[in-house]
Amino acid sequence: MTFNSLAFYPNKNSPLHIGIIPDGGRRWAKEHQTSLTEAYDKSKEMLQKMADFYFAQNVDTLSIYVASHENFKRSEEEKSAFSNVVEVSLQTDFLDLAHRLQVKIMIVGDRKLFANSLLTSVEKIETDTADYIKGEINLCIGYHPVLEIQRAIEKSIHPENFLKHLDIKKPLNFIIRTGDANVLSNFLPLQSGFARIYFIKKLFNDLTMDNVFDVYQSYLSLNLKYGE
């Protein structure tokens, strides 16, 4: 099986696709002696601010690593707190954000891991935002790249063309990870091949919009070659 990687990155001047790995929620809750629910709520608020900023800069796509497949192996308390915040956010905050910005929201991940109530919220927000064309937000929940590749191959008549059937087809231009961890943790590896990665020591909930602006300006100042 072979594929042309350059065909996957056809236009280096295309609108930016930004990835966010908002790490550090559990550590922030412990440091501030607060609940996981409060920590996740604060993360949600920051993600919305970042979305407003990036789409105002004509960013085309935003992909957010909400939870990996492995995250669903955590304690029932953690999974419950996380799932409840995500469920409510999809019904309210992220739905309002999508309507305001007129961007489509897609959920990418193993839906077999979702409780029925979360699955209902996932399907509703995708249906309610399906016709928006001004941008796209991919929320990676229960995500694992091997499962994404398996789904893509199953959809492909010709397996060598599986890239066309990935859940997220656009290449990432740059990725931000907070929490002082210089690892991608299986976040969209095929889409990240030419991405610039910014690792930030701060926990995600300690991030400020000045930090977000500075990183974005740093990316814009680069002379990107893409292998030329």
Q: Please give the Cα distance from 39 to 204 (Å, whole number).
A: 10
Task: Kindly state the helix (H) or strand (E) to which residue 182 belongs, with its residue range.
Answer: none
Note whether residue 228 is domain-resident: no
More confident residue, 8 or 69: 69
Query: Under a CB-based contact definition with an 8 Å cutoff, are residues 141 and 67 in contact?
Result: yes
Is 13 within a domain?
A: no
Sign of dihedral through CA atoms 132, 137, 142, 147? positive
Q: Residue 206 is part of a domain; what is its CATH number?
A: 3.40.1180.10
In a domain, 226, yes or no: no
Has residue 182 been placed in a domain? yes
Torsion from C-alpha of 143, 19, 41, 51, nearest 10 degrees: -130
pLDDT of residue 226: 53
What is the number of structural domains in the chain? 1
Give 125-142 pLDDT, tens digit per residue.
999 999 999 999 999 999
What pLDDT band is residue 15 in, cutting at 50, 70 and 90? low
Q: Which domain, by its residues, includes 202?
A: 18-145+171-220
> Does any domain span residue 35?
yes
Residue 196 lies in a domain: yes
Model confidence over 163-215: pLDDT tens digits?
889 999 999 999 999 999 999 999 999 999 989 999 999 999 999 999 999 99
pLDDT for residue 3:
46
Q: Is residue 24 situated within a structural domain?
A: yes
95 located within any domain: yes
